[in-house]
């Protein structure tokens, strides 16, 4: 524990953030490969454009599975870090043990439900006669590994929150490398198509989950998974869920938004437009995951020092996080506006798909330059244990703004597809401004010396 206190409670905040964030950023970039490498390989198949659209139809279910992992992992990890900052490792271990049990339970429930109802769900999500079989082929294998998909990222947050950024990065990189190798073998050597992509992903997640579990029961982990803390405690579970709801909302609403977008672009642009949306959702991951990695690196520092009452370090960490996030998204905005075809060609180079996607990117991502402010403030609220305000901000961008705009804007535009795409940048800008203002008010009122309020279970 002394080493942990020295790492996060003393020394240069900038250097500590760099040490924790770099592995987290690398891990997040590599983590993109779990989904988009599948799409890159699928896009190179003879029927790649339609196969990609099929996987895009299935992707909201994959995102929902990830959302439940975030509910527990991103709800439990900050609470555990705060308790460690308070010097209560026993409470931190109880939180982690309950989180592990809940991931197992949720993984089992999700597997059963989606296996039973996957086909009607896919039709509701915008599948067509041309894409439904590709979507089913992918999901039939992917859902078998749902428990491992829950555990690998969900419990890896507890490795990061202890300050073991390189170990957390190794978890993701190991799985991603396995995924890439197996993708090429299963899809092209064994000619398994989208089934091969799903199988490669699941095997990679199994290995990652076993890696995480082995570390968290081993001697190197500061807090450990212990059998006596695996029986769910209602108070602890409710505390985890309360803090985990905002990231759950962020993940699950991404799924809901993608469902709505897929349905609308299917109506206004057909299967080709759905394929374009699949590519753009992959690019969105490429753009946003590095700043998620940066905020993941900042979270242990903010949570630990908030629990320890070192508010000057909390404020300094946030300022560094905010400046870097907003700088990064401005740079990415410029690249997307100038070179959209470069991003599209990563996935597919068929002329029709390249043309419609390149045009769509300049509209869809035109508000991304302010997204860094949204992420920095949103994730800091989460790290500080501010569940209610974090939930409100999570709901604002997607539920309050984006989804209604997808339905409203086509009423006023002759080009219906363009109108649907415009909903994204408008909601991005409005949400970023609102979240920044709310955080500024919170910052002035609460992040002053002596204002830290401990979280009790």
CB contact set of 236 (below 8 Å; sequence gap of 6+): 94, 95, 98, 457
**Average pLDDT for 89-107:** 95
Neighbours of 413 (CB within 10 A): 12
User: Under a CB-based contact definition with an 8 Å cutoff, are residues 54 and 194 in contact?
Assistant: yes
SS (H, E, C) 376-423: HHHHHHHHCCCHHHHHHHHHHHHHHHHHHHHHHHHHCCCCHHHHHHHH
pLDDT at 32: 66
Does pTM surpass 0.85? no
pLDDT at 333: 95
CB contact set of 256 (below 8 Å; sequence gap of 6+): 60, 398, 399, 403
**Average pLDDT for 13-22:** 77
Confidence of residue 331 (pLDDT cuts 50, 70, 90): very high
More confidently predicted of 246 and 431: 431
CB contact set of 389 (below 8 Å; sequence gap of 6+): 381, 438, 442
Rounded CA-CA distance 2/188 in Å is 51
- Domain limits, the chain: 2-446
pLDDT at 68: 93
pLDDT at 144: 92
The pLDDT tens digits of the residues spanning 185-240 come to: 998 888 888 888 889 989 999 999 999 999 999 988 999 999 999 999 999 999 99
pLDDT at 4: 43
Burial class (CB in 10 A: 0-12, 13-18, 19+), 259: buried
The pLDDT tens digits of the residues spanning 286-329 come to: 788 788 888 878 888 888 888 777 888 888 889 999 999 999 99
Range in 177-186, 271-280, 415-424 the model is least confident about: 271-280
User: Under a CB-based contact definition with an 8 Å cutoff, are residues 250 and 371 in contact?
Assistant: no
């Amino acid at each position: 524990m002394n080493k942990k206190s020295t790492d996060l409670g003393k020394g240069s905040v900038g250097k500590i953030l760099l040490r924790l964030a770099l592995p987290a950023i690398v891990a997040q970039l590599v983590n993109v490969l779990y989904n988009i490498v599948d799409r890159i390989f699928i896009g190179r198949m003879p029927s790649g454009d339609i196969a990609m659209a099929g996987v895009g139809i299935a992707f909201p279910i994959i995102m929902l599975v990830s959302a439940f992992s975030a509910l527990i992992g991103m709800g439990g990890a900050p609470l555990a870090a705060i308790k460690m900052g308070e010097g209560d490792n026993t409470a931190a271990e109880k939180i982690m043990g309950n989180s592990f049990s809940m991931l197992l339970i949720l993984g089992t429930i999700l597997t059963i439900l989606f296996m039973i109802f996957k086909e009607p769900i896919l039709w509701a999500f915008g599948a067509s006669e041309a894409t439904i079989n590709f979507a089913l082929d992918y999901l039939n294998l992917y859902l078998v590994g749902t428990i491992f998909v829950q555990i690998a990222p969900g419990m890896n947050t507890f490795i990061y929150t202890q300050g073991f950024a390189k170990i957390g990065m190794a978890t993701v990189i190991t799985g991603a490398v396995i995924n890439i190798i197996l993708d090429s073998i299963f899809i092209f050597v064994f000619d398994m198509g989208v089934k091969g992509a799903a199988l490669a992903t699941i095997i990679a997640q199994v290995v990652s989950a076993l890696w995480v579990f082995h570390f968290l029961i081993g001697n190197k982990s500061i807090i450990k998974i212990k059998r006596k803390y695996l029986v769910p405690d209602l108070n602890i579970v409710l505390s985890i869920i309360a803090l985990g709801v905002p990231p759950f909302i962020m993940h699950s609403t991404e799924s809901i938004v993608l469902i709505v977008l897929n349905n609308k672009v299917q109506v206004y642009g057909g299967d080709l437009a759905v394929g374009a949306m699949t590519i753009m959702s992959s690019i969105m991951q490429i753009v946003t995951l590095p700043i998620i990695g940066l905020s993941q690196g900042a979270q242990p520092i903010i949570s630990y020092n908030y629990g320890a009452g070192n508010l000057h370090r909390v404020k300094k960490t946030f300022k560094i996080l905010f400046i870097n996030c907003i700088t990064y998204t401005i740079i990415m905005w410029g690249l997307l506006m100038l070179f959209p075809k470069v991003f599209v060609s990563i996935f597919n180079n068929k002329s029709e798909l390249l043309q419609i996607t390149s045009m769509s990117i300049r509209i869809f991502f035109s508000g991304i330059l302010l997204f860094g402010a949204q992420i920095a403030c949103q994730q800091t609220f989460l790290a500080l244990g501010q569940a209610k305000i974090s939930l409100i901000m999570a709901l604002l961008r997607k539920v309050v703004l984006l989804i209604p705009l997808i339905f409203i804007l086509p009423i006023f535009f002759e080009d219906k597809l363009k109108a649907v795409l415009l909903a994204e940048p408008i909601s991005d800008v409005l949400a970023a401004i609102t979240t920044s203002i709310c955080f500024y008010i919170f910052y002035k009122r609460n992040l002053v010396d002596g204002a830290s309020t401990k979280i009790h279970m």
